[in-house]
A and B are shown apart, each in its own frame.
Chain A
Amino acid sequence: MEAVAALERDAQLMLRVRQGDETSFALLLERHRSPVVNFLHRMVQNRAVSEELAQEVFLRVYRSRETYEPTAKFTTWLFRIATHLALNWIRDGKKEKSNESLNEEVMEGMERQVAAREPSVEQTMIYEVKVQEIRKAIEALPEKQRAAVLMHKYQGLDYSQISGALSCTESAVKSLLFRAYETLRLRLAHLA
């Protein structure tokens, strides 16, 4: 029920943006900024690029405000744009991932853990290894499987929303998730 209300609220906000209400756009940005950035970050695995692409997502949303129609759920539309931009970037081969940026992002995660619980050196190292393995496992997935898993796991989108974002059938989404999770089970089992 809460999810349904949230989706309707997004559509209402976007309709107000269509009428020129800039505050509603700011509210949408506040709600979806972090999920979109993190989805893109997990797709492209580069912080600077993920924020650049996320800006392009919201720019396109704003640019389309005058013709917006709530024919699909706002979140589905948002992640459809994000997925398209991410897949284009990946296929263009513009990866600029470097060891430095990877370490920097792992360090950020570790700092949050430190702030939370002051872990030991051993726990910190275990965390670093885990995150590296997960990132590699996700990166090794084919692009559409990767997008499907990230939307399913981290964004909590259902099959119909993911199918709308990927422009495929629900059956195809289930197939993508089936293969992706099977691969991840094999690859990450040793980390248990």
Chain B
Amino acid sequence: MDCIKKNRQGVEILTDYCAGILDPADAAAIDAHIEQCAECREMVQAQRVVWEMLDAWTPLEVSRDFDARLYARIAEEQAQPAWRQWLGRLFRPATPLGLWKPAVSLVAAGAVLALALVVGVPDKTPPAFKTPFASTTPSAFKNTTYKNTPYKNPTAQALTSSEEIDLEQVQQALDDLEMLTPAGQASPL
């Protein structure tokens, strides 16, 4: 038999051998092998030391009042209202890893949905940009007043609409403003 310690499966077999859980035929084969293989023999001896050391850690005696305290806790819980017992089962389930995470996710999703329904979905359409030239503004700010303002782009068309702004004109105005900014200095905008 080739050295079985050389692969991981072999080490697992040797561990099971040391734990005494191999079937008799396999255990006998290992017995024969370790007589010939120094590496495996060394590993088996080291594992047996570990086993003996772990055996030295003897179990504790459980407290005599363990059962009495447990039954007292059970009785106390049984005396609670049914809704509290239900909450206890929800938040301290017996099989926490299997069911807990999906339950939390579902509850969280439900809470978000409920909140959205109560608050309402906001209107996604952005309001039209209202310029100082809007008709609702005081007459002093009607666009006719600003036809000859120094910031009006001479190449842009005059603002004809008092309610909507031409975004291209805005962009052009910003570009012109940058041209007016001395080189190397940041634009005031």
Contact = CB atoms under 8 A, between A and B. Distances in A.
A167 B97 contact: yes
What size tier do the contact residues of chain A reach? 35 or more
Contact of A174 (B12, B43, B61, B94): B12
B19 A105 contact: no
Interface string A176-190: 011001101100110
Interface in B1-30: 8, 11-12, 15, 19, 21
Interface in A58-103: 58-64, 77, 80-81, 84
A77 B50 contact: no
A117 interface: no
A43 B92 CA distance: 21
B8 A34 contact: no
A63 B77 contact: yes
A64 B89 contact: yes
B6 to A, nearest CB: 14
For chain B, give the interface size range: 35 or more
B57 A42 contact: yes
B63 interface: yes
B149 to A, nearest CB: 67
Nearest to B11: A178
Given A33-B67, A63-B94, A177 B15 contact: yes
A139 to B, nearest CB: 12
Interface of A: 26, 29, 33-34, 37-38, 41-42, 47, 50-51, 54-56, 58-64, 77, 80-81, 84, 105, 108-109, 112, 127, 130-131, 133-135, 138, 152-154, 158, 167, 174, 177-178, 181-182, 184-185, 188-189, 191-192
